[in-house]
Structure 1
Amino acid sequence: MPASNAKAIEKARSLACDAVILDLEDAVAPSEKDSARSRVVGAVQAGGFGYRQVVVRINGLDTPWGAADIAALADVQPDAILAPKVSTADDVRRYDALMAPFPARTHLWIMIETARSIFRIEEIADAASNTRLAAFVMGTNDICKETNARMTNGRAALLPQLSLSVSAARMAGLAIMDGVYNDLQDAAGLEEECCQGLEFGFDGKTLIHPSQIAIANEAFSPTAAEIEFARLVITEFARPENASVGVLRVDGKMVERLHLQQCERLVAITEILTRNAQEAAMPGRQV
């Protein structure tokens, strides 16, 4: 959401999304940076976003506004700060050091959107071991800009970058969000790209318009059949007679304990989504 747009920020409080990114960077003109920062500070302080994580994308530290953005947000404590154009582990540590005044609950998310970041993705992910780093967000438009790649259906030119980033995130225990889909009129294309992101292992997708939310939610939410099978696997492995068994046949499929872990994660996601939906349906719970 552009931080310079008060109506967009207000609308974000009622959207069926898991996180709201209030953008002080690309979506805000230089002449409006200071006023947008003040608006974001007021919005985060006022609250009202309910279960949605509130993330603020700040300006880079190589700009006149980045350090001031971080300093202004320390007192209002968003759920996360999203740092743009991070290219090295040292960049992660610089942002982390400036976030020292923030409470421990405020995480650091970073944009993976430079060519250099792809070649240093392992060291960047490893920086999570001693910093607030908690998530990657793919900046696919900026990667294309830097490499002169073309954003086509199927994203052939970006497949190596996407795959490497997901692998690095999983290695370090980080969440990772896929990049945006630019064509607001192409619902079928958005659905296809969401499904591709799910197949790659992304946790979700960043979006540029509320009209895209329903498609992304459906694509990244477990299906009823997946939930039923996951619960069945958990039940079968929980039986006393299967306590020392490494592999079972469940509903005609061979299932190992590594699949049990995947099923437990799927059920945990389902329970979170259910709680969020219930909260969204309850009036007066926007805190």
Structure 2
Amino acid sequence: MHPYRSILFVPAHKPDWARKALSSGADCLVIDLEDSVPADLKESARKTARDTLAELRAQSPDVGLFVRPNALDTRMAGADLEAVVCPELTGLFTPKIRNATDVVRWETLIDWFEARNDAEGLEMMVPVEMVDAITNAVEIAGASPRVGAMIGPTSAHADIARAVGYRQSREGSETLYLRSRILLACRQYGLHALTGLWEDLGDLEGLREFADYGLQLGFRGQILIHPSHVPVVHEVYTPSDEEMGYHEELVATVEKAVAEGHGAVRFRGTHVDIAHMEKAKDWLAHARKVRGEG
């Protein structure tokens, strides 16, 4: 999956919001048919979502376009996918997954509607919203090659907070264990690791601190619910020129040392060796993708 820094949600029945979301410069948009759409608007929202996908893709060939359908047990998921699976779609944000069996159920639906609606290569983003999903994170991550990303759960009020029963603090330490399980599952299967919501729309400094903590843990991007959050998250998750220079110099220094018969060398006052070099190479590969350099 592309290393999206920002994944911005938009209610499916509000196409004007989708246009504003695209203008925000978010890497990826999720057109939501689930929680943000009232029950009596679900059916009409499907057609609106399909029209919106076509419009957004015409304006931007590169933005990630996902749809969050309704959960499998609502019996609306099939109708959702029939309406929105199309060539313009990048993938599905698949809600309420509890285990690997749920992943396969979604995969079967996606297989069917890809063939039916002339789409291909759809990916799955899996939010971890249920206690079962936290417990089964590793099997979920490896259940299908369509799974490209998982979301480490954070929210003050949404499904995961209700399921676990925690009270969210500003620093989010109460979700550290939950997020860490998802992060390790992502690393095991090479998935894009995303962290969850910052819900205080006006507190941009709090958002910056929260995003930076996610980056420290090892997450590579974040779910967003307001366009004003996009620039802050991009600043945090985009490697700087200074960071690029540091890692490039580290690689060159160790490679030179190895060529001279040394396995370790002093670099900017610290000990580095081949392991440090390999980590730096991995970091640079990701950073160049994020920066659009490779």
Question: Same fold, TM exceeding 0.5?
Answer: yes
- Matched-pair identity in %: 27
Deviations 1:229-276 (A, max 9, x none): 111123334449538754343333222334334323433344334439
Deviations 1:93-147 (A, max 9, x none): 111111114254211111111111111112112214xx31111023433211112
Give the CA deviation at 1:209: 0.4
Matched, 1:30 2:46: no
Q: 1:7 aligns with which of 5, 10, 16?
A: 16
What's the Cα RMSD here? 2.1
SS of the aligned residue for 1:222 comes to coil
Moved more, 30-39 or 88-97: 30-39
Matched, 1:137 2:137: no
Distance 2:201 2:68 in 1: 22
Shift of the 12–237 alpha-carbon distance from structure 1 to 2, 3 Å rule, reads same
Q: 1:79 aligns with which of 82, 90, 101?
A: 90
Letter in 1 for 2:200: D
SS of the aligned residue for 1:25 comes to coil
Give the CA deviation at 1:50: 3.7
Q: 1:53 aligns with which of 61, 64, 74?
A: 64
Aligned residue pairs total: 274
- What is the aligned partner in structure 2 of residue 283 from structure 1? none
Matched, 1:67 2:83: no
Distance 1:243 1:205 in 2: 43
Unaligned 5+ runs, structure 2: 1-9
Deviations 1:142-162 (A, max 9, x none): 211112211111212211101
Give the CA deviation at 1:67: 1.4
Letter in 1 for 2:25: A
Unaligned 5+ runs, structure 1: 277-287
SS of the aligned residue for 1:140 comes to coil
- What is the aligned partner in structure 1 of residue 4 from structure 2? none
Aligned partners of 1:3 and 1:28 also within 8 Å: yes
Q: 4+ residue runs of structure 1 moved beyond 6 angstroms?
A: none
SS of the aligned residue for 2:199 comes to coil
Letter in 2 for 1:120: N
SS of the aligned residue for 2:142 comes to helix
Letter in 2 for 1:166: L
Distance 1:185 1:51 in 2: 29
- What is the aligned partner in structure 2 of residue 95 from structure 1? 106
